[in-house]
Amino acid sequence: MGRTTLRTLITGAALAALLLPVATAPAQAAKPPATAAPAAFQHPGVLVGAQQLAFIKGKLDAGAEPWSSAFAALRASGYASLDRQPKPRATVECGSSSHPNNGCSDERDDSMAAYADALQWALTGDQRYADKAIAVMDAWSGVIQEHTNTNAQLQTGWAGNNWARAAELIRHTGAGWSADSVDRFATMLRTVYVPELTPGSPRKNGNWELIETDALMGIAVFLDDRGLFDRATELWRHRLPAYVYLSSDGDLPVAPAGSGIQGRSALVKYWNGQSTFADGLAQETCRDFGHTGWGLEAAAQTAETARLQGLDLWGEGRERLVKALEFHTAYDNGADAPDWLCDGSVNTGLGPAVQLAYDEYHLREGIAMPQTEQYVAAHSPFGANYFIGWETLTHTDAP
């Protein structure tokens, strides 16, 4: 079959069959979306809220699945070890693909460990885990001064996400974190992380800016900083339409705000050589699904933190995120790539990057997501990856 015929099929009936129409549950449709967050921040309110924690505790007490297996995986993880010794340094130097790696892995791992310990504390009340999370955060806040080299912004996004989640849980669940230590940690976030995150990365691959946005929103909630929260919201609203294509965008994808990328040839190059565009395709699809998953997950994590703060970014991103997940999980589930897509070959492997959006759109809103549902069933419980941690535990059926 020729290339033109395949394009016609995939952008017409075949695509419609692959990606089912987006339909919201009646109760969701009856409630108009909030376009701005309330004046006061809700705490804890970075990715995981108090209502979720109570829900998870109830499931664990009942020995219910998949929460029990997911919690066992968390506790068996090296991130959760009480023997862990933090490795802070003043300058974290991260080049492309973390080469050189001068403290990059140490910072990411320690920040994820702090979050793992904070989760265990919040779910069990075992003070040892609160103390370990506090020790790790205090170690870094007393030492780190800067991130350098070409991956500095992305590194602050990866680690900043984990730090904000850990700090938010520890600060607002009665863990005994001293006021002086909280202030020092807040100063670290504001002086070392925020300056790297607020400009965004408009000319980089889209997962960068989405990860940075995710971290900035979490930090904003921890700092009770409305200006930073609004900046993160602005970045999200500009970047998601430039990351996931919909036919309603026109013949070409939306260009990233502030990137200067203009015209068909420049956009095709930016989209990794992809010149045919279909609903749900992402800017990094033809790079690989791993980075694409990071971008989609960062957009979802930002929307979930916004939800806890009363802002409905989930509603704003519904069509793009549902179609993107269904598009990509279909190939992860074994569908053959047509010749118009990435020259007929895709590098699959979304990783643990689907739980949040699946929970929101399928489990909460009742939208049919058969490809994503199949992927979740095959790969959960999801563990930890850079800035993604144990979301089968924290978000399956979460209220």
pLDDT tens-digit map of 340-354: 999 999 999 999 999
Mean pLDDT of 362-384: 97
Query: What predicted TM-score, i.e. pTM, was given to this entire model?
Result: 0.91
CA distances from 26 to 172, 200, 313 (A): 34, 37, 18
Mean pLDDT of 21-34: 42
Q: Give the pLDDT score at 22.
A: 36
Domain regions of the chain by residue span: 226-399
Pairwise CA distance, residues 40 & 161, whole Å: 21
Q: How many residues does the chain have?
A: 399
Query: Which of 10, 24, 25, 5 is closest to 327 using CA atoms?
Result: 10
Q: Give the pLDDT score at 33.
A: 57
Q: Give the pLDDT score at 75.
A: 96
User: Pairing mode, if any, of strands 45-46 and 91-94?
Assistant: unpaired
Pairwise CA distance, residues 302 & 239, whole Å: 12
Q: Is 17 exposed, middle or buried (0-12, 13-18, 19+ CB in 10 A)?
A: exposed
Q: Where is average pLDDT lowest: 15-19, 39-43, 97-101?
A: 15-19
37 band by pLDDT with thresholds 50, 70 and 90: low
pLDDT tens, residue by residue, 254-283: 999 999 999 999 999 999 999 999 999 999
